[in-house]
Amino acid sequence: MSHPALPRRLLAEFLGTALLVTAVVGSGIMATQLSPDDVGLQLLQNSIATALALGALILTFGPVSGAHFNPVVSTADWFLGRRAGTGLTAGQLGGYVLAQTVGAIAGSILANLMFALAAVDLSSKERAAGHLWLGETVATTGLILLIFALARSGRSAVAPAAVGAYIGAAYWFTSSTSFANPAVTIGRAFTDTFAGIAPSSVPAFVIAQVAGLAVGVGLLLALYPGVERVADDVVVAPPRTPAVRSTSEESTPS
């Protein structure tokens, strides 16, 4: 299967991650403005906007880069695919992670600017507790399982809806509200708003997400033998080149 050139893929990862964080942060700001006295309603508004935006972004950028938007997804893609010669190479993985992280920071800055806030305003919201780290591990494990199980079972086409639905639900069933993404976690440290996370809380969240990655990959290998062969189909398979019709077929009247 041929892939778009790496610069195009990295641009797609940068833009997709940036717009994802813009949706997360921007909808959080709007929610606090619309429902200033109801935190539950704020979370509902934030989660719905994030889930819908994520599905749309996967549809938009999936055919170019796979729409990972997440270093743990890209790392799983590299780790699982390296034995079968599929998925990302180590060099491509480094490019993806850098593009995703820079994109996440840019997305947070963009959201701040859209709501007339300081471009960079480091968050003061501490999220440091064992139950939150456990929530991040659970959220990340589930995300890795979902994405690669869809690819392994030939259902990558439903990934936009399924991944968006999972993240929207995980806002509510995890104690951490499911960041499940190291790049997004770093990006959200650059906004002191509803969706922010204090820089001092970021390292532990990332460690928990890496733990979720390890658990998710281990479960995939146990549950879905041969999953490494479909790393090229994560998250949305790149479009295959249509077969060229023969001259005889083209000239045959219908």
Residue 79: CATH number of its domain = 1.20.1080.10
Tell whether 1 is covered by a domain.
Answer: no
Average pLDDT over residues 137-161: 95
Q: Which of 96, 135, 51 is nearest to 231 (CA)?
A: 96
Tell whether 101 is covered by a domain.
Answer: yes
- Report the percent of the chain where pLDDT is more than 70: 93
Tell whether 15 is covered by a domain.
Answer: yes
Tell whether 170 is covered by a domain.
Answer: yes
Tell whether 87 is covered by a domain.
Answer: yes
Q: CA 24, CA 177: separation in Å to the nearest integer?
A: 12
List the single range of 29-43, 79-93, 135-149, 176-190 with lowest mean pLDDT. Answer: 79-93
Please give the residue range of the domain that contains residue 142.
6-233
Tell whether 93 is covered by a domain.
Answer: yes
**What is residue 237's predicted lDDT score, i.e. its pLDDT?**
57
Tell whether 248 is covered by a domain.
Answer: no
More confident residue, 232 or 51: 51
Tell whether 252 is covered by a domain.
Answer: no
The count of domains in the chain is 1
Q: Map tokens 């806030």 to a residue.
A: 117
Average pLDDT over residues 4-26: 97
